[in-house]
Structure 1
Amino acid sequence: MVSYMKKSLESIIGHDNFGLLPPAEYLAELPRHEDTEVDDCTGCLDPCTEHKEYPPYFNIETDFPILGSVKPYGRHIIIATGCSDWVKKIEEEQGTFAYSLSKAESDSTQSKPWKNMVTNSSLVSVHSTLTDGCDVLVLPDNILVANVTVDKANEFYQLFVQTDLPTQPMDIDLISNDSRLGQMKIFKNPYKKLILLCSHKKRDKKCGITAPILAQEFDHVLREKDISDHDAAVVMVSHVGGHKFAGNVICYINDGTRGIWYGRVKSCHVHIIVEETIINGKIVKDIYRGAMDNSFEKQVKKSFLKW
């Protein structure tokens, strides 16, 4: 029955629904190999002996198409916690900013035509000076808000979440004069590019297995190419949806305005992601899940698979 449902879904969606891809000029042109033992996407031999593999018991879901599996969203809120795993549902853990922000959103009488995505992250709050404050990244606004506390969740929501999506770089000096900020401080996002890895083991153990292996390989490739942490930061994050597609990777480039999602990522894919996406700003089609709203012109904002 499950197999029949998968096949039925595939027949509706189709593996080659190219209308969900970004414009052709954004797609990476990867070399094609006549040798059947060489993977066209990764360039590695199959099986690969150079890159670390996932454990033998790890089963990568291949029945569902990944293209179009990203639920549309307009803004991503990334909370610095210094951890790489969290309770199963971060919005239900009382006393945390994720919980307070979720409550602020549910209490709000205003709604927007897009979804806001909230994740915890392994980032450490280096800009906050309050003992109970944390750093929060806001994309595509491309800002970092410091000294964010639980009791300021409503003000944070009003200032940075329910506002219209930006069409130009934020005027930090202007918004810094808003009295609702209190002790919150605004900075430009210190990371030129972000590589987010879902590591939420308590939500799904697959993400807890894939993220550390991918992080090690990303660190290796970035160092090899002399790319610093501020040029491209590798960050563990909580549940992003689609754990069946682990390893899940989100790359934010173009000053945080373009969010590119990859699924079924193996360590063999890392070098091509760094070269084509982080450096060249291109999309690796074979592992592409979708993108943040407004990442590309004429982007189809459609998701077939729910979170």
Structure 2
Amino acid sequence: MIRSIRLPIRQLRLPTAGLAATGSRSFASAAARRESCACGSNTHLTYPDFKLPLNTTTPLSTTGPSLWRHIILATGPKTQDTWPHNPNKDPDSIAGVLEKMQKERPDAREKPIMIGLATLPKSTVEGMERLWVFPEGVCVDVSSADVESGRIDVWRHLLKPSEELEEMFGPEEGEEGGVILICGHTARDPRCALAGPILLSQFLSPTSPSSQLPPNWKVALTTHVGGHAYAGNVIVYSRHPKRGVWYGRVTPCDVEEIVGRTVRGGEVVERLLRGVVEVEAG
């Protein structure tokens, strides 16, 4: 069950800029092949030519995020081609307003927040937008009504301590799951634009029972998370334990291991690890 707060914020619009002028659409639609790959399987998708170089030498452990929270606006399935190059710079978008407010916080440097978009399902309630707050893994529907004074109230809810967020917006028993976010920002960089949809297909098309996601888990593409040169970039936000495991250099061959070890087993795949975002203690 999704909890809602009807705290009005200024009428805001989702990014609608297409990619006709970016020339990036061809990368997102590049055909993946299902053939024998490095691991010897003939059931994994493989990447076409990335066109741009990948960084294969820098230790991934030095590339991880330094985040307190990751706030995601759900834009609906298959919307990645509508995302502009930098949605957070659009002052009339929800992402732009959230970015402005988070930068104006007095503790912005001590508690960094990343604002992004994802192809997660939108709110089914008219006039509401759905926000996900990680690593807590809670989501809340907020009103997009045209009342500017409510914006700060919405933001204060998103900044509440983890315990209060859980109490107000945590999932009901039996509805808990997790969210896997894959960078697939078409307008930002061709490497993640190419890798993202292929990894999404691999996560959604398991090659064995052990690679099937548990109930209530979601997989979506997301906007820039940093490190396009480490594509594919995958974040596993779990509820038990409550954290986000950031992976880089993920290939379709790695999906089954990520599902088995990280999603189901709560372990970390060290060779792919960029960093971990955890709920703040206390």
The normalised TM-score by structure 2 is 0.74
CA 1:148/1:246 → structure 2, altered by over 3 Å: closer, same or farther? farther
Q: What's the CA shift string for 1:223-268, capped at 9, x where partnerless?
A: 8459568521111110011111000000011357210011000000
1:188 aligned to 2:171?
A: yes
Structure 1 window deviating more from structure 2 (55-64 vs 135-144): it is: 55-64
Structure 2 distance, partners of 1:54, 1:226, is 19
Structure 2 distance, partners of 1:148, 1:70, is 33
1:35 match: none
Q: Runs of 5+ in structure 2 lacking a partner?
A: 1-36
Q: What's the CA shift string for 1:128-162, capped at 9, x where partnerless?
A: x233x21111123332111342744322212212x
1:126 aligned to 2:111?
A: no
1:269 match: 254
Q: Which amino acid aligns with 1:124?
A: P
Q: Which amino acid aligns with 1:285?
A: E
1:144 match: 139
- Quote the offset at 1:126 in angstroms: 3.1
Flag the structure with larger Rg. Answer: 1
1:61 match: 55
Structure 2 distance, partners of 1:227, 1:234, is 12
CA 1:57/1:250 → structure 2, altered by over 3 Å: closer, same or farther? closer
1:280 match: 265
1:177 match: none
- Quote the offset at 1:125 in angstroms: 1.5
Q: Which amino acid aligns with 1:198?
A: C
Q: What's the CA shift string for 1:71-91, capped at 9, x where partnerless?
A: 210111111112224111111
CA 1:196/1:88 → structure 2, altered by over 3 Å: closer, same or farther? same
Structure 2 distance, partners of 1:46, 1:262, is 19
Q: Are the counterparts in 1 of residues 39 and 253 from structure 2 also a CA contact under 8 Å?
A: no
Q: Are the counterparts in 2 of residues 193 and 256 from structure 1 also a CA contact under 8 Å?
A: no
Q: Runs of 5+ in structure 1 lacking a partner?
A: 1-43, 173-185, 297-307
Alpha-carbon RMSD: 2.8
CA 1:169/1:144 → structure 2, altered by over 3 Å: closer, same or farther? closer
How many equivalent pairs are there?
236
What are the equivalent positions in structure 2 for 1:1-307 lying under 5 Å apart? Answer: 45-46=38-39, 48-58=41-51, 59-82=53-76, 83-85=79-81, 86-109=83-106, 111=108, 113-127=110-124, 129-131=125-127, 133-149=128-144, 151=148, 152-161=150-159, 163-164=160-161, 166=162, 170-172=166-168, 186=169, 188=171, 192-221=177-206, 224-225=209-210, 227=212, 230-255=215-240, 257-294=242-279
Q: Are the counterparts in 1 of residues 211 and 255 from structure 2 also a CA contact under 8 Å?
A: no
CA 1:222/1:231 → structure 2, altered by over 3 Å: closer, same or farther? farther
- Quote the offset at 1:295 in angstroms: 8.1
- Quote the offset at 1:222 in angstroms: 8.3
Give me the identity figure in percent.
26
The normalised TM-score by structure 1 is 0.68
